[in-house]
Amino acid sequence: MLDLLQYGFIQNALIIGIFLALSASLLSPFLVLNQQAMIADGLAHVSFAGIILGILLSNEPLLLAIPFVMAASLLIKYLSTKRTINGDAAIGLVSAVSFAIGLIIVKKGQGFNISIESMLVGNIFTATSAELILSIAVTFLIGGFILFNYRSLLLMTYDENYAKFSKVKTTLLGYVLSGLT
């Protein structure tokens, strides 16, 4: 079993998996308590459209997929703050629309020779060294944000009105948290 660790792609996959799990575990308490428990699933479906657009417009799908997913996350936050739509409902709405856009582009696009399943699920064993560095950097960015804003995040999560009264910039903090998600 330990013989597998001699391969670089296995090492990359293991390290990336650890850092992604750490990132998710740092963000999840705040997301779940703010009624955004399904955001990971929703943003995974959003990323499908971002990756398809990235393939269509450039050779590096992540260069377009990451900003696309961040914009969708901010849109979800905006929709859920309007109080007419629940956080999980906003996630479902944005993810369904984005996924449909991705499917339409694949079906109407010329020259797409990709597997939709591979775009949705991916393969951590194909991760590059650049993606390894990106996952480590994102984990440290998320950790630093939570470390420096922990009290404000707790106030905002448990009592948003008191947080506003305490001069916590809840709107900005909420959007930054959504962007990091």
Q: What is the 3-state secondary structure (H, E, C) of 78-116?
A: HHHHCCCCCHHHHHHHHHHHHHHHHHHHHHHCCCCCCCH
Instruction: Provide the residue-wise pLDDT of the chain in tens; the chain has 181 residues.
Output: 677 777 778 888 889 999 999 998 999 888 888 777 788 888 888 888 888 888 888 777 778 888 898 899 888 888 888 767 877 788 888 899 998 988 888 887 766 666 666 666 677 787 888 888 989 999 999 999 999 999 989 888 888 888 888 888 888 888 888 888 8
Judge contact between 97 and 49, C-beta under 8 A. Answer: no
Rounded to 10°, the helix 61-81/170-180 angle is: 140
The predicted model scores a pTM of 0.79
d(CA 13, CA 113): 25
Q: Report pLDDT for 22.
A: 95
Exposure class string for 50-69: b at 16+ Cβ within 10 A, else e: bbbbbbeeeeebbebbbebb
Please name the residue ranges forming H helices in the chain. Answer: 8-33, 39-57, 61-81, 87-108, 116-121, 129-158, 160-165, 170-180
Rg (CA), the chain: 18
d(CA 24, CA 27): 5
